[in-house]
Amino acid sequence: MTDTFLAKLQDWLKLGVHVVTPNKKANSGDLTRFELTKQAALDGNAFWLYEGTIGAGLPIVSTLRTLRASGDTIRVVQGIFSGTMSFLFNVWDPTKPFSDVVFQAKQAGYTEPDPRDDLNGLDVARKVVIAAREAGLDLSLHDVDVASLVPAELEDCSVEEYLTRLPEFDSVIARQAMEADAEGKVLRFVGKVDVVAKTGTVELAKFPKDHPFATLQGADNIVEIQSMRYSAEMESTPLIIRGPGAGAQVTAGGVFGDVCKLGVMLGARVPL
C-alpha cells in the first residue's frame, strides 16, 4: 500500500489533488524525490499536508513552518520522537533488567511485533529527517547517525531468538544507566537535528534529572526547538512541545486537523 501511495503521490499533486497523510516515507525518503514532490504540488496548485508524520497530533511540523515563515532561524530540534522508546525509558527501573521492560512493552502492544523495528532507531531517524527538512536543512536518511539499541549479534536472527537472547546484553545498558545516575542524569533515546552543524543523530543520551526530557510520563513525546528567537541571547528558554505522540485518537486528530486547515486554505467555512 505504501509503495502504491509513493508511486501515485506526485501524479495526484500535479493533477491538483490535495493530499493529507501521516505517511512518513514520502517526506523522509530520497531527497530528490522529495523536492520533485514539492514541485509537483506547486505545479498542480495542490496542498500536501503531513502534520501527523511527527508526534501524531502534536503541532510540530506546523510550528517549524510557522517559525521559519515568521522570520525565525531554527538552530536545533531535538526530542523523544518515539512513543515506544519513551515508554521504555520512562518505565524502566535501571536496577532491573532492561529486557524485562522490552518484554512488558511488547506484551502491552507498545512495540512492533518485532521490537527491533523500534529499538533500531529507524523510525526516529525518519522523523529526524522530516524535522530537518522543515527546519531548512536538506538531510537524507543515510546522513543520520543512528546508534541502534539492537545488539549487532541479534540484528539478523529470528524474533524468537532475539527475545530469548536479549537478556544476555542487559549488562551493557545497565552500565550506561549507572554511569548516568552517578552524574545525576538519566538515559533517553533522542533524535536531534543540528541545523548549524548540518547533522542529524539518533542516540541514547544523558540528561539531568530535572530536564524536561527526564520528566516525561508514559509514552509521551517531547520536542525542544532552539532558534534565534527561542534562545538565551533573546532571554528566552527553548520552545517545548509535549504530549501524547502515538495512538489512534491523537493520530486521527492530527490528520483531521490537517483536513480542517485544508478547508480554510480552500475558503471553506470550517470552525477551528
Active-site residues, by number, are: 127
Closest CA to 2 of 18, 16, 30, 21: 21
- What CA–CA distance (Å, rounded) separates 123 from 219? 15
- Cell matching residue 117: 523495528
- Cell matching residue 98: 532492561
**DSSP code of residue 238:** P
Residue spans of alpha helices (H) in the chain: 2-14, 25-28, 31-43, 61-69, 83-91, 98-107, 116-119, 122-134, 159-165, 170-182, 248-265
Closest CA to 71 of 197, 195, 230, 198: 230
- Cell matching residue 102: 522490552
Give yes or no for a contact between 247 and 110, defined as CB atoms under 8 angstroms apart: no
- What CA–CA distance (Å, rounded) separates 93 from 173? 12
Measured CA to CA in angstroms, residue 241 lies from 21, 123, 174, 232, 237 at distances of 21, 19, 29, 18, 12
Q: Give Rg (Cα) of the chain.
A: 19
